[in-house]
Amino acid sequence: MNFKLLITRFSIIVFAMAFILPVFLKQAFGQSTPEKKEFLTVCIGFYNVENLFDTINSPGINDVEFTPEGPNRWNSARYFEKLENLSEVIEKMGQELTPDGPAVLGVSEVENRAVLVDLARRERIKDRNYQVVHHTGPDRRGIDVAFLYQPKYFTYISSKPYRTVVPGRDDFRTRDQLLVTGELLGERMHFIVAHWPSRSGGEKASRPLRIAAADIARGIIDSIQAAEPGAKVFFMGDLNDDPTDRSVRRHLRASSNPDRLRENELFNPFFDLYRKGIGSLAYRDSWNLFDQILLTPALVGGDYQQFRFFRAEVFNRPFMRQPSGRFQGYPFRSYGGGVYLGGYSDHFPTYVFLIREKR
C-alpha cells in the first residue's frame, strides 16, 4: 500500500475517534466537558422467586402442595436449599456496576413475611441488612408480592396494598399491587410491585384480568403524579404479559422511546431487549419477557444531578439455567414435571441501573 495513503487513512481514523468519543460520553453521561466526573450507581431489581413457601400447612391457604406430606414433599432441607439458591442470585445481581447488588428488590410468589426474613438472613446477603415490606393479600394460594430494601440506600416512609378488582367478577382473587414510598439516598421515590393474573385458560380468555390490573396500576401512578408533579415512580412486576401486549402498551401507556416520552406515559426499557429475543421465562421453546421495570419521565433523561435511568438487564447467568435435557437453557427451577430439581426459579430476575454524579 502507498505510504502516504496509509498515513492519510490513519489520520482520518484518529480524527473520527476524536469526534466520536466525546459524543459517546455526552450520550452516556449527559456531558462532554473534559473534566473527569464520578458517578454513583444504584441497582433496582425485581425477582419472581417461584413458590417460596414455608413447610407449614397454614389454615385458609391452599398450600398443602408445599408441605412435607404434600405431593412436592416440601421439607426443611428443600426449603433451606431454595433460600440458599435465591440468596446466591440476589448476591450476584447487578455486581457488574455495584458491589452491593440491588438497593431495593421487588419480589413475587412469597407466602409470608417470615420466608423473606429467612431469605434476608442467608450468609451470602445478610451483611446487606435487607428489610422487608409485606402485606398479606387475598390470593387463594397464599402467594404475595413484597419489597426488600437496604437501609444503607433506602429510607422507608410508607406502604399500601391495592386490591385488583375485576368488574363483574366479585369472586376473583389475585395478588395485591404494593405501593412503597421512601427516599433513595435522599431522593423521594415510589415503587409499585405487582404480579398480574396468569394466562391460565389461555392468553385471550384471561386478557381482561390483566387489563383490569393495568388500569388499577395506571390509576395509582396517575394519583401519585397528580399529588406530586414530576414524581419518580417505578412500576415493576411479573405482568404475565410482554412489553408489546395491550395491557402494557395501551393501558399502562408504556413507551419504548425515551426521547419522545410524554408526562402521562411510562418508559419501558425492556421493550428493546424483548425485540432482540431476550426473555425472563421460557414456554414451549419461546421466550417471554413478563418481568419488567417501568419508569416515569422524571427518571429518564436530563442531567445527572439526580438519579437517572442508565441501563436495563435480564439477569440470566449460566448457573441459573437448566444445564441439560429437553429444557436446557431455560431458567433452572425448583421443580419440573413434578420432580424436584433443586434449582432457583422459573423466572430470571430483571433490574435497572440508576446513576447520578457523586456529591
51 sits in which H/E element: strand 39-52
Q: What is the pLDDT of residues 19-68, one digit of tens each?
A: 333 333 344 444 444 468 899 999 999 999 999 999 999 888 889 999 99
Spatial separation of the C-alpha atoms in residues 233 and 222, rounded to whole Å:
10
Q: What is the pLDDT of residues 66-85, one digit of tens each?
A: 999 999 999 999 999 999 99
Q: Where are the domains of the chain?
A: 1-37, 38-357
- What SS3 state is found at 160? strand
What pLDDT is stored for residue 156 in this prediction? 98
Q: What is the pLDDT of residues 215-271, one digit of tens each?
A: 999 999 999 999 999 999 999 999 999 999 999 999 999 999 999 999 999 999 999
The single-letter DSSP state of residue 157 is E
What pLDDT is stored for residue 35 in this prediction? 62
Superfamily of domain 38-357: Endonuclease/exonuclease/phosphatase (3.60.10.10)
How far CA 116 is from CA of 139, 146, 247, in Å, comes to 18, 9, 30
DSSP conformation letters of 188-204 = EEEEEEEE----TT-HH
What pLDDT is stored for residue 290 in this prediction? 98
What pLDDT is stored for residue 302 in this prediction? 86
- Say if CB 355 and CB 41 are below 8 A apart: yes
Mean pLDDT of 322-344: 94
Angle between the N-to-C axes of helices 113-120 and 76-92, in degrees from 0 to 180, rounded to the nearest 10: 60
Spatial separation of the C-alpha atoms in residues 155 and 132, rounded to whole Å:
12
Q: What is the pLDDT of residues 276-290, one digit of tens each?
A: 999 999 998 899 999
What pLDDT is stored for residue 168 in this prediction? 83
**Residues near 118 by Cβ (< 8 Å), separated by ≥ 6?**
83
